[in-house]
Amino acid sequence: MKSLKLTLVTGRTVEQGVEGEHGKLRDEYAEKVAVIELDSEDLGRLGVSAGSPVLVKTAHGEVVLKAIAAKGRHPGIAFAPYSPWVNVVIDSETDGSGMPTYKGIEAEICPTEERVVSLEELIRKHYGLEVDLSKLAGQEVSGGEGGEEQLIKDVVCPFCGCLCDDVEVLVKGGVIVEVRKACAIGSAKFLDHRKERALHPLVRKDGEFVKVSLEEAIEEAAKILANSKYPLLYGWSSTSIEANELGIELAELLGGVIDNTTSVCHGPTVLGVQGVGTVRATLGQIRNRADLIIYWGSNPLNAHLRHLMRYSALARGVFIKGRKDRKVVVVDVRETPAAKMADLFIRVKPGQDYELISALRMAVRELDIEAKEVAGVPVEKIYELAEIMRTAKFGAVFFGVGVTMSPGKDETIENIIRLVQDLNEWTKFVLCPMRGHFNVTGACNVSLWMTGYAFGVDYMRKFPRHDPAIWTVTELLSNGDVDAALIVASDPLAHLPKEAAENLAKIPVVVVDPKFNVTATIAQVFIPSSFVGIEKEGSAYRMDGVSLRMKKVVDPPEGVLSDEEILSLLLEKVRELRGA
C-alpha cells in the first residue's frame, strides 16, 4: 500500500471554532474536526480522493482521519485541526517547557479501509469509558415569549484574544436574536450559546451520570478536591478575572496546582519574556503607526478573524490609513489565507523558525551568512526581509502558536524577541503574541499579580512555586502526578496529547463549563455554568493587555450559576471539609 512521510501540523480552523462553540458532542463537530488537510499533490501521490479516510501514524499512535484538500498549497505538510482525534498521535514530551509539540511532527499517512470513529468510540477505545452521548446531549434553552427588542451596543466579544468591543447584540424576550459586527465565530458564540446547553449538575454513580441538585454536586466536587492529596486546577482562560482570583485562592487552600491554558499555547512566550524581556505595544499604537506588519506562525484569518480589519494589516489608523500604507509579510510553513494577501511570503521549513530568526538577526546586522539557504529560505530573501524590517518606520510582529509549538519552543521565542530588540537600534519594532482564548491574557495577568508567575503554579508548600517542566498540565498528567482535577472553562480532553488525556481519564475530575464538553464525558462531577460575557459580567484582557469589562446581555438559564458563584460555593465547602 502506498504511504507518504509528511510533516504533521495541528492548529485552529474557523470550522473547529464555530462547531466547538455550538457543541462538541454533535456529529457535525466530528465531521469538521476529524479531518486532515493534504496538498492536492500529496493526495495524488497517495492515490486517495478528498473525503476518503486515511490512517495517520506517528511514533505515538495512530488514528483514522478524513482527508480533505488543502486550500493553500503546502506539499509535504499535513494539517489537522486540534481535536480529540488527532491528539491521539501527539507526544506528551515537552522538553521541560510544559508545551507539547503540536506542530512539525513526523507522520506517515496511508489510505485505509477503516472509517473515522465517532467520539463515543474514541472515548471507549482510548480512555476505556462507556458513554452514551445521546443521553448527555444538551438541550436548547427556550427564551421568553415576545418581549421588547433591545439593542445592546459596545458589547465585548468573549471569543478570542482580539476582544472586539464594538459588537452589537439584539435581544428580544431575553434571547439574542441578532449579532452585528462580530466575526463568524464570535457570532456563533453569541447565537449558539443557548444550544446544546447542559442545565443540570451531574454526578457519576455506578458508572452512570445521574442528575443531582446543585448542593449535592458542590458537595461531591468539594469532597473530591478536599480528599485529594494533590489536585490540579486547570482551564481559566475562558472565564473572568474574578473567577480566576477565586481559582487561585482555592489552589492555595488545597495545596494543589493551578495552571491555565497558556501552558499549551503561549507558555514558551512567557518563558521567553522571563529570559530576555519583550517589546510590546497596544493594538491601537500598531494600528495608528505600523507601516510594516509581520504575521509569523499565526493565522489571523482562521483564528483572529477581525484582527486584520481592526488592528493590523487592513486597519485604518491615525497615521497609517490602511493596507496601501503598509507592507505585509507572512512567515509560515504553509501558504495560509493571510499569505495570499501579503507583499512577501516566506515559507519556512517546519520546526526551523529558530534558524531563520538567527539568520535574520545576522542579516539585520549586515553580517555574512555563508549558507545559500537557511530553513528552506534563500539567503537573498532573508537579506530582503532584513532590509524591509530595518527601513520600516514602525514594525510589528504578530506571532502565533506556529512559533511557540514548534521545536525550540522558548528558545525560539527568546530569539524572536532578541530580533525585535535588535531592530530597535535602527527603528521602532514591537511584537505581540496572538493569544487565543478571550481571557488567556487575563489569566496570565491575574496569576502574575497573585503568585508572581503567569501559569503552572504549585501550592504544595503553601506558597507559589513555578517550574514549567513540573507544574504544567501536560507534565503533571502524563507523569501521573495529580490525583484529582477541577477543570473550569476548558476542554483539555479535546486538546491534550494522548498520554496526558489518558491519565486525566483515570482520576476523579470535576468539570465546570457552560456546555457538556469532551472532558465532561469522563468527569465524576459536572456543574453547568453561565457564559462570561453573555450571561455574566466580568473583566477580561485583550492580547495586548488592555483590560475590558465584559457585559451581561441576557440572563443565564434558570438555576445555572456563574463560575464565580460556583467557585465561591466550592471554596466554602472545601474550607468546611478541611476544617479550616
Partner 1 sequence: MEILIKGGYVFDPINGVKGEKLDIGVKDGKIVEASKIDERSAKVIDASGKVVMPGGVDLHSHIAGAKVNVGRLLRPEDHYISFIKAITGVKRSGTGKTTPTVAPIGYKYARMGWTTVIEPASPPLKTRHTHEELNDIPILDKACFPLVDSNWFVLDYLSKGEVEKCAAFIAWLLDAIKGYALKLVDPGVAELWSLGKGYGLDLDDEIPSFGITPREIITGLCKVNRMLKLPHSIHVHCNRLGIPGNYTTTLETMKALEGMGDGIVIHVTHAQFNSYKGDNWPALRSGAPEIADYVNSHDHVSVDIGQIMFGGATTMTADAPFEFALFHMTPIKKWAGSEVEVESASGIVPFKYKKRSVVNAVQWCIGLELALLIKDPWRVIPTTDHPNGGPFTRYPRLISWLMSKKAREEVFEKINKTAKRRSVLPDIDREYSLYEIAIVTRAAPAKLLGLEERKGHLGEGADADIAIYDLDPAEGAKDPEKIVKAFKYAYCTIKDGEIVVMNGKIAKTTYGRTFYVKSKALGEDLMKEVEEEVKQRFKEWYTIQFSNYIIDESEIRYPEPIVVGG
Q: Contacting partner 1 (CB under 8 A), which of 6, 46, 222, 241?
A: 241
User: Please, which residue, 3 or 547, has the CB nearer to partner 1?
Assistant: 547
Residue 23, Ramachandran bin (φ over 0: left; ψ between -120 and 50: alpha; else beta): left
Task: Single out the segment in contact with partner 1 by CB under 8 A; choices: 123-131, 139-147, 277-285, 498-506.
Answer: 277-285
Residue reference for cell 478536591: 225
Q: Is the dihedral of CA 101, 17, 269, 373 positive or negative?
A: positive
At closest approach, how far in Å is the CB of 87 from partner 1? Answer: 29
* Strand ranges for 434-532 from DSSP E: 457-458, 465-466, 484-488, 509-513, 525-528
Min dist CB 13 to partner 1, Å, is: 26
Rule CB under 8 A: choose which of 539, 543, 553, 556 binds partner 1: 539
Tell whether residue 463 is a contact of partner 1 (CB under 8 A): yes
What contacts 75, CB < 8 A, 6 or more positions away? 39, 41, 42
The answer to the question of residue 276 lying near partner 1 (CB under 8 A) is yes
Q: x/- contact string, 105-144, with partner 1 (CB under 8 A)? A: ----------------------------------------
Residue 521 DSSP symbol? G
User: Phi and psi dihedrals of 298, rounded to 5?
Assistant: -130, 155
Please report whether residue 411 would count as binding partner 1 according to CB under 8 A.
no
Does 318 interact with partner 1 (rule: CB under 8 A)?
Answer: yes
Using DSSP's 3-state secondary structure scheme, residue 473 falls into: helix
Q: Provide CB contacts within 8 A for 174, sequence distance 6+.
A: 143, 144, 147, 554, 555
Looking at 273, 476, 484, 512, which residue binds partner 1 (CB under 8 A)?
273
Give the whole-angstrom CA distance, residue 282 versus residue 428: 14
Please report whether residue 572 would count as binding partner 1 according to CB under 8 A.
no
Determine how many CB atoms are found less than 10 A away from the CB of residue 365: 12
Round to the nearest angstrom and report the end-to-end CA distance of the chain.
64
Q: How far is CA 364 from CA 272, 332, 358, 407, in A?
A: 21, 20, 10, 24
**What is the footprint of partner 1 within residues 466-485 (CB under 8 A)?**
466
Contacting partner 1 within 13-72 (CB under 8 A) = none
Judged by CB under 8 A, the residue of 453, 471, 516, 526 near partner 1 is: 453
Least separation in angstroms between CB 276 and partner 1: 6
Nearer to partner 1, 273 or 520 (CB): 273
Sketch the per residue contact string, 491 through 530, with partner 1: x for CB under 8 A, - otherwise.
----------------------------------------
Q: Does 568 bind partner 1 (CB under 8 A)?
A: no
> Given candidates 270, 364, 494, 504, which one binds partner 1 under the rule CB under 8 A?
270
Reference 266, options 452, 431, 512, 429; nearest CA is 431
Cα 364 off chain centre by = 33
Rule CB under 8 A: say whether 446 interacts with partner 1: yes
Q: How far is the CB of 263 from partner 1 (least distance, A)?
A: 15
461 binds partner 1 (CB under 8 A): yes
Q: How far apart are CA 80 and CA 33, in angstroms?
A: 8
Residue 151 binding partner 1, by CB under 8 A? no
288 touches partner 1 by CB under 8 A:
yes
Between 189 and 287, name the residue whose CB sits nearer to partner 1.
Answer: 287
CA distances from 457 to 96, 217, 221 (A): 15, 27, 21
Instruction: Report whether 159 contacts 185 (CB < 8 A).
Output: yes
The one-letter amino acid at 291: D
* Cell, residue 328: 505585509
DSSP 435: -
Which lies closer to partner 1 via its Cβ, residue 91 or residue 291? 291
Judged by CB under 8 A, does residue 549 bind partner 1? yes
- DSSP at 298: -
Minimum Å distance from CB 308 to partner 1?
13
CB of 574 to partner 1, least distance (A): 10
239 binds partner 1 (CB under 8 A): no
Query: Near partner 1 by CB under 8 A, which window of 227-235, 286-294, 398-406, 485-493?
Result: 286-294
Number of residues counted as binding partner 1 (CB under 8 A) = 64
The piece of 70-78, 149-157, 197-205, 556-564 that touches partner 1 (CB under 8 A) is 149-157
CB of 448 to partner 1, least distance (A): 5
What gap in Å lies between CA 116 and CA 75, rounded to an integer?
23
* Residue 343 in the binding site for partner 1 (CB under 8 A): no
Smallest distance from partner 1 to CB 286, Å: 8
Question: What gap in Å lies between CA 80 and CA 93, rounded to an integer?
Answer: 19
Nearest approach, Cβ of residue 496 and partner 1 (Å) = 25
Of residues 238, 219, 193, the one with CA closest to residue 510: 219
Return d(Cα 295, Cα 397) in angstroms, integer: 6
Taking CB under 8 A as the criterion, the residue among 344, 427, 481, 506 binding partner 1 is: 427
Angstrom distances, CA of residue 129 to CA of 208, 412, 455, 522? 11, 39, 30, 7
Give φ, ψ of 172 to 5 degrees: -135, 125
As measured in angstroms, the least distance from the Cβ of 191 to partner 1 is: 21
Residues 375-394 interacting with partner 1 (rule: CB under 8 A): 393-394
Classify residue 579 by its DSSP letter: T
**Residue 114 contacts by C-beta under 8 Å, 6 or more apart in sequence?**
53, 55, 64
Nearer of residues 216 and 249 to partner 1, judged by Cβ: 249
Interface ranges with partner 1 (CB under 8 A):
153-154, 156, 165-166, 241, 245, 249, 252-253, 270, 273-285, 287-289, 310-311, 318, 393-394, 421, 424, 427-428, 430, 444-446, 448-454, 459, 461-466, 539, 541, 545-549, 575, 578, 580
